[in-house]
Amino acid sequence: MTRTTDTPHHLTVPPEGAGTRLDKWLTDAMPPLSRARIQALIEGSAVTCDGKPIRDAARKVKPGDRFTVRIPPPVAATPLPQSIVLDIVYEDESLIVVNKRAGLVVHPAAGNPDRTLVNALLAHCGESLRGIGGVARPGIVHRLDKDTSGLLVAAKTETAHTHLARQFAAHTIERRYDALVWGVPKPPSGTIVGDIGRSPHNRKKMAVVKRGGRAAETGYVTIATFGALAAHVQCRLKTGRTHQIRVHMAARGHPLIGDPVYGSGRKAPGRTDPVLAKALSAFGRQALHAAVLGFAHPVTGKALRFERDPPDDFTALVQQLRGRL
């Protein structure tokens, strides 16, 4: 079969395929694609059955099922090194920890082909990158959204990548985030549990879903309130799903201030001080900062823990909230 990125591939399950897992059947039916690649396409809603997105790779296929697989245009396998200023918190021969600024995309993708953190790390680390999967590239084991600031670790060797990935999979990484949310959470601290998957109403958004999602758990504690208007909360991740804090807080009725996806309908009430109302509406990103990152060093086993305060735009908004309420 010829892989054509701008043409959908239509496949129908024959009688002998009955009962096979969807990801395995598609892998057998599309030899150029690996099973991992098929699973990624399924998770990204690129596989549909009779026009409806399928996100369960373990689904058993039935004779006559008609699947369409859309393969997005490829991204260059080797991003180019680009000199971009980085706030480096820690670095050794195995890994590097950076304090990512808001607005910096982590990895090249459609719409952001370069000027990303990966491009910057390729330039900064150079020959110290000893290869991930046989390629001299940084090993990205977790991500932060483009407009989320804060701490992120990347591996420089295959060994470091493998061991860090295991820690993330085992949920032993310490991750604490600072967030500014609309309203005041009640109770002031607790745990939010809810599976996260693609929104059935908008496939570009994530949502708490009853089926087809992945288990997600977020702990939170309110550390400051600003009348009934807003609160400063600290969140700890037990899992790490896409947009997890943003989705879970929005599901509780407290979307992040500035969030263009999950909080776009919220604004300060009419009685709010006009200067503060303007500051809130002008905050140009979700008010979220990855403040703490802790893990075991992948080679020595030593416990490492890093902490960085939120950036100036975040702290300035906190000061506005404190001073005008």
Q: How far apart are CA 19 and CA 15, in angstroms?
A: 10
Same domain flag for 263 and 207: yes
At 26, which helix (H) or strand (E)?
Answer: helix 22-29
Reported as a pLDDT band with limits 50, 70 and 90, residue 324 is confident
What pLDDT band is residue 74 in, cutting at 50, 70 and 90?
low
155 lies in the same domain as 199: no
Domain with residue 99: its CATH number is 3.30.2350.10
With 80 as the cut, is the pLDDT of residue 31 above it?
no
Closest by Cα among 160, 173, 141 to 298: 160
Query: What is the per-residue pLDDT for 4?
Result: 43
Residue at 319 is within a domain? no
pTM: 0.76
Mean pLDDT in residue range 279-299? 96
Which H or E element spans position 176?
Answer: strand 174-182
Residues 93 and 164 in one domain: yes
pLDDT band of 36, cuts 50, 70, 90: confident
Alpha-carbon torsion, ordered 189, 195, 201, 203, to 10 deg? 110
In a domain, 109, yes or no: yes
pLDDT tens-digit series, residues 148-189 = 999 999 999 988 999 999 999 999 999 999 999 999 999 999
Residue 3 near residue 71 (C-beta atoms within 8 A): yes
Residue 67's CB: how many other CB atoms inside 10 A?
A: 20
Which pLDDT does position 292 carry in this prediction?
Answer: 98
Among candidate residues 59, 48, 53, 56, the one with its CA nearest the CA of residue 10: 48
Q: What is the mean pLDDT of residues 275-291?
A: 96
Residues 164 and 204 grouped into a single domain: no
Residues 182 and 290 reside in one and the same domain: yes
Q: What is the mean pLDDT of residues 246-270?
A: 94
Q: How far apart are CA 220 and CA 233, in angstroms?
A: 7
Counting every residue, how long is the chain?
A: 325
Question: Looking at the structure, do residues 153 and 178 belong to the same domain, yes or no?
Answer: no
Name the residues annotated as catalytic.
145
Contact 287, 258 (CB under 8 A): yes
Same structural domain, 286 and 192: yes
What is the 8-class DSSP label of residue 74? P
d(CA 144, CA 150): 8
DSSP label at 119? H
What rounded mean pLDDT belongs to the chain? 91
Q: Is the pLDDT of residue 139 over 50?
A: yes
Digit-coded pLDDT (tens) for 94-130: 999 999 999 999 998 877 889 999 999 999 998 888 7
Higher-scoring residue by pLDDT: 206, 134: 206
Q: Which domain does 269 fall in, by range?
A: 174-295
At 214 the pLDDT is: 96
Task: Assess whether pLDDT exceeds 50 at residue 2.
Answer: no
